[in-house]
Structure 1
């Protein structure tokens, strides 16, 4: 066996090990953290907060990422068992659900950042937009909109054949034509990473400006106002932490997606295919952290979240 073949085998083995370990780590910590998120956000105190509604439903969609997307990806990337290549219906359904679930989860965080902007406004008309009724309507509306925007996937995705990291021709669930593949890449970049990230940063900045303006208007010696500002500030802290994780987690994979689209028609040797496969599959697992890390970010950044969590733990340990 030549040294190049040995190198390729080592790269492919490293790819499988890294993807399996990262995916398993994400699955375990995601399942634990997101389940605790659900319990905390259903506490009576938080159920009255419109922002908590967005966090709750974002957690629900992230749970689908953990229990639906991750097991399928672990089988595909870690053990080469890709169920999307068995049947055209499975291919279309799997890709459609994978895109929709992850995107809705991120856009609900965008809505949470917009809600914080409404809630922190000095104008009463804008503050009224931060309500439970608006939160429920907005959650349902963004879910339906994302489903509609990704519906073309059902049409142009099919089972095609491509070269894997070992240089073998294998079936793959992918876009049928290059133009559709290019549209799919950029639509994914805009809808899943770039646009949500920009909107999160924008409304987080506007919220900070509103809070500074609010401090200049509202007297500091009113106890009730101090409690309100404390709650708003902690929600904003949770939001900024979540925004940071989403941006850091999704951008590397987006960059790799652009690279893959740009070099799709280039002739590549087996070694380069193995390296590209390593980069693509490892960066493909990083976006999972945008969905599994929310509980740990909330616990670190918000006192009220920790207080409600401790109440749940105490109730479990001492039910009487």
Structure 2
């Protein structure tokens, strides 16, 4: 007692000191972060106020034709870009509204919003009304324009990727060379809208009302419409349709036009060229002629990039001794090698995911059903480790059915979990709960193998069917409590996420990812590894396994009873050896097939707010969707692991099952 008191008091003081120190450090760090945030906010407010005052004063001094004067617009443009680099999302939104209310948004090509970064701003309802405006080169990446009105507006080279435009009205609007991939057009009204040279890949037009829509040179790959009739009603030319095929393609032949003058030509030196019968004649040897031509083949650039059209330009020339150099520069939205690679990966990953999912679904379902039938046989089910394997197979079967069925249906856009809130929440809850139960039951089986390999008889007595049942119930309850939050956090019809059914906020995603990584993956794997090593250590020390069941012992055994007892012990010892082998292979497969997804899931959430190029986002999503299949492979493997590593005992039980089925 004195020893406990002498050790306990200093230990308590030490723990209290450590906890107090850590708490003080945490409080100090929070205060520093709060001071930094406050200083940044004050700086942003100062920049915002200075910008508003400068632009207001400049506007008042130059009221006449301000938006028509290119030189004056340059000043506003430079000030706007400088301010936007510093400001937060809310103040960026206020700058856009200030420019609109001050009538400073240009109505010609000299847009002050060129290269302006308004990403992630949120506008809706009455504050979101725009008339006769040109947005040229603006960045509206991941923005939200809900229930807005755009009337007589031109968007040129504007980035609308992953934006939410639900409920908005677009009247007499043009999208020219814009990127609108994976934008949401739910419940929108589009009338007299033209998309030209624009990418609308995976854009969602569900419940949208479309009237007089013109699409030229547009990429509609995997765009979502309510039905095929809605697509047919659109005017589509020289474009890629949602199913990957091409729309009507116009032939184009540009015949040479008579050159009766030098109009539009820039000639250096001046007046050194004259026209004679449609022939340009230079008066001196060194002459430079330049002209920018907007040929109609620019509207076929998508077809040229996709190798569905050929571009050939012929220039006829005649000269004596002069050297003539002709440079023809094409500025198409041509795909780079990396972009084409991502397009190829996107197009091939969809059928591969479907076929691979079908393969895993078939073999996983059959394997787990056979597992359940084999492990429920009377000769095996009394073993606590086999009982845990049985429940794990049931959980794996539920995981495969709830996880892969919607994934397969999504290939044909029949996945209700992507659009229905209730199905989305239930699918996520059942999938993650059943997967956690399956992994934790294998962890419990590893602990049971360590217990039964122990030399301590009190430990070995803990290995019983009743304790296995209690442990299974405890794991089921804990798993349900861990993922009950998914019924709140998960939401359907999301964008900017790897899947449309995903966590609706950053906090929800982080909570789900940390829970999955720590409690579903890392904790079971670490526990399995530790107890697996301890089990091997026990075996090497020659500590034998306890024989399950009660063995009738007498002081004097006759020879027959002794032989029967020895055979029974040998049989159970052989089963224990097979179980250890099966467990070892399953633990290895768990580490290889579940760990990568947990790491990438956390990474995707932590980098979700960082600006990513389309190629980065596509690569992340393809990799994430591939990694989603790995845990399903692990759920499908146990039967085949048991068949290969379970020895004669498991294979005999399987043969008995199949033989009895055929006999019946």
C-alpha displacement at 1:8, in angstroms?
4.1
2:453–2:460 CA contact under 8 A, matched in 1: yes
Structure 2, gaps ≥5 residues long: 1-301, 303-333, 547-562
Q: Calculate the TM-score normalised by the size of structure 2.
A: 0.44
* CA-to-aligned-CA distance 1:19-55 (integer Å, 9 cap, x gap): 1122111011112211111111011110110111100
Query: Is 1:307 matched up with 2:652?
Result: yes
Cα 1:181–1:217 change in 2 (3 A) is closer
Cα deviation for residue 223 of structure 1 reads 5.0
Q: Distance in 2 between matches of 1:106 and 1:66?
A: 14
Shift of residue 300, structure 1, vs aligned partner: 0.7
Partner of 2:408: 74
The answer as to whether partners of 1:164 and 1:273 remain within 8 angstroms in 2 is no
Q: CA deviation at 1:82?
A: 3.5
Q: Is the 8 A contact 2:454 2:543 kept in 1?
A: no
Q: Where do 1:1-320 residues align within 5 Å? A: 1=302, 2-4=334-336, 6-76=340-410, 78-159=411-492, 161-163=494-496, 172-215=500-543, 224-303=568-647, 304-319=649-664
Q: Which has the higher strand share?
A: 2
Distance 1:217 1:57 in 2: 23
Summarize the Cα distance change of 1:227–1:279 in structure 2 as closer, same or farther, 3 Å threshold. Answer: same
Compared CA separation, residues 217 and 68, structure 1 to 2 (3 A): closer
Kept in 1, the 8 Å contact 2:517–2:598? The answer is: yes
Q: CA deviation at 1:138?
A: 1.1
CA distance in structure 1 between the partners assigned to 2:471 and 2:621 by the alignment: 39
SS at match of 1:265: coil
CA separation in 1, counterparts of 2:335 and 2:650? 55
Deviations 1:67-101 (A, max 9, x none): 2221112223x334442243332222221111101
SS of residue in 1 equivalent to 2:357: helix
Q: CA deviation at 1:216?
A: 8.0
Q: Which has the larger radius of gyration?
A: 2
User: C-alpha distance in 2, partners of 1:216/1:25?
Assistant: 41
The 1:217/1:151 distance shift into structure 2, 3 A limit, reads closer
Note closer, same or farther for the CA distance 1:231–1:10 as it changes in structure 2 (3 Å cut). Answer: same
Higher relative contact order (Cα pairs below 8 Å, separated by 6+ residues):
1
Match of 2:227 in 1: none
Unaligned runs of 5+ in 1: 166-170
Question: Per the alignment, in what secondary structure is the counterpart of residue 130 of structure 1?
Answer: coil
Q: Is the 8 A contact 1:110 1:200 kept in 2?
A: yes
Deviation, structure 1 residue 267: 1.2
TM-aligned CA deviation for residue 214 of structure 1: 3.6
Tell me how far 1:246 sits from its aligned partner: 1.0
TM-score normalised over the length of structure 1: 0.89
Q: Secondary structure at the match of 1:163?
A: coil
**Is 1:15–1:281's contact at 8 Å kept on the other side of the alignment?**
no
Cα RMSD over matched residues? 2.3
Q: Quickly say closer, same or farther: Cα 1:270–1:164, change in 2 above 3 A.
A: farther
Q: Residue 501 of structure 2: SS of its match in structure 1?
A: strand
Q: How many residues align?
A: 311
After superposition, the Cα gap between the structure-2 partners of 1:128 and 1:156, relative to the gap in structure 1 and judged at 3 Å, is same
CA distance in 2, matches of 1:164, 1:118: 44
How many angstroms apart in 2 are the aligned matches of 1:24 and 1:160?
24
Task: Please say which of residues 197-206 and 48-57 is displaced more in the overlay.
Answer: 197-206
Quickly say closer, same or farther: Cα 1:311–1:179, change in 2 above 3 A.
same
State how far apart, in whole Å, the 1-side matches of 2:460 and 2:491 are. Answer: 47
Task: Classify the secondary structure of the residue corresponding to 2:578.
Answer: helix
Residues 79 and 9 of structure 1, relative CA distance in 2, 3 Å threshold: farther
- Between structures 1 and 2, the one with greater helix share: 1
**Rounded Cα–Cα distance in structure 2 between residues aligned with 1:245 and 1:141:** 25
Going from structure 1 to structure 2, the CA distance change for 1:314 and 1:32 (only over 3 Å counts) comes to same
Question: Is the 1:96–1:151 contact (alpha carbons within 8 Å) kept by the matching residues of 2?
Answer: yes
1:112: how far off? 0.8
CA contact (8 A) 2:421 2:492 kept: yes
